[in-house]
Amino acid sequence: MIAAQDFALASCQAVIFTPDEEVSAVKVIKGLLPRWLDKFNAEPIILPTPSPREVPKVILQSTSGAWRCEVGSERTSIVWQKAKSELPVLTMTEFFNEATRLLFNYRQSIQPRVGRLAAIVTRYALQQSPGLFLSRHFCQERWHTAPLNRPQSFELHVHKRFLMANEYEVNSWMRNKTGTIQSETSPQEIVLVEQDLNTLSEDLPSRAYDMEQMNRFFEVVVPEFDTILNLYYPLQESR
């Protein structure tokens, strides 16, 4: 069986939505990149214009492949992923602290209205038969013989809406599915969990999050992600 503490962090993402902005690639490269060279030291990618608002204008990356920033008119995302086994693995707190710093720099330089916030984490746990495990974990025993007696893959997506930390009304997505990762010798089967906490899209036209509110959001998502994961994969069921 698998419990919450068995999951390893694969990637984290922090997103701000900027509905009124028209991003200038030149302004990003000249104004922001010099302050971010400690993090994004690879050659920047500038996408051709004109392009849809949802398409990034500039993509910044680290030479290690672990860090990426996608800057667009509609949204800006900071992403960390476990790119190589020898690289240090961040904690969620470390990532969101650093992402908040970078997004503060962006907000100070570009001065957009931030109308929506989102945080996404992906975690995985090794499991020899992930489809069978997930079907047995989430489905009643009467389904274990047929039709769920030998699933090769399995997915369960759950959406909820609630007030997080008594401050932010959020959508919560919990996606549980099978997957594989490449080890040093061969692919390994895994249970993959993607968690997404985001403020409401219907508030986007009217909300304007200041830096304190942004910082608080990316602080409270960390314990909330762990609380949710523990609800789906409690310790007592795994031992």
List per-residue pLDDT tens for the chain, 239 residues long: 899 999 999 999 999 999 998 888 888 888 888 889 989 999 999 988 777 888 999 999 999 999 999 999 999 999 999 877 777 789 999 999 999 999 999 999 889 999 999 999 999 999 998 988 888 888 756 556 656 566 667 788 999 999 999 999 999 999 999 999 887 778 899 999 999 999 999 999 999 999 999 999 999 999 999 999 999 999 864 44
How far is 180 from 73, CA to CA, in rounded Å? 34
Do the Cβ atoms of 115 and 19 come closer than 8 Å? yes
Looking up tokens 């919560």 gives 172
Contact 217, 117 (CB under 8 A): yes
Q: What angle do CA 67, 223, 175 make, to 5 degrees?
A: 70
Residues with Cβ within 8 Å of residue 212, at least 6 apart in sequence: none
How many other C-beta atoms can be found within 10 angstroms of the C-beta atom of residue 17? 22
Confirm if 26 and 34 have CB atoms less than 8 A apart: no
- In a domain? residue 41: yes
Residue 227 near residue 160 (C-beta atoms within 8 A)? no
Domain containing 185 equals 4-203+218-233
pTM (2 decimals)? 0.91
- Domain assignment present for residue 213? The answer is no
Considering the domain boundaries, does residue 210 fall inside one?
A: no
In a domain, 11, yes or no: yes
Asked if residues 190 and 179 have their Cβ atoms less than 8 Å apart, the reply is yes
Q: What is the dihedral of CA 189, 135, 118, 219, to 10 degrees?
A: -80
Q: Is residue 71 part of a domain?
A: yes
The pairing of beta strand 187-199 with beta strand 155-164: unpaired
208 φ/ψ angles, rounded to the nearest 5 degrees: -145, 100
Residue 149 lies in a domain: yes
Question: Is residue 154 a part of any domain in this protein?
Answer: yes
The verdict on residue 239 lying in a domain is no
What is the number of structural domains in the chain? 1
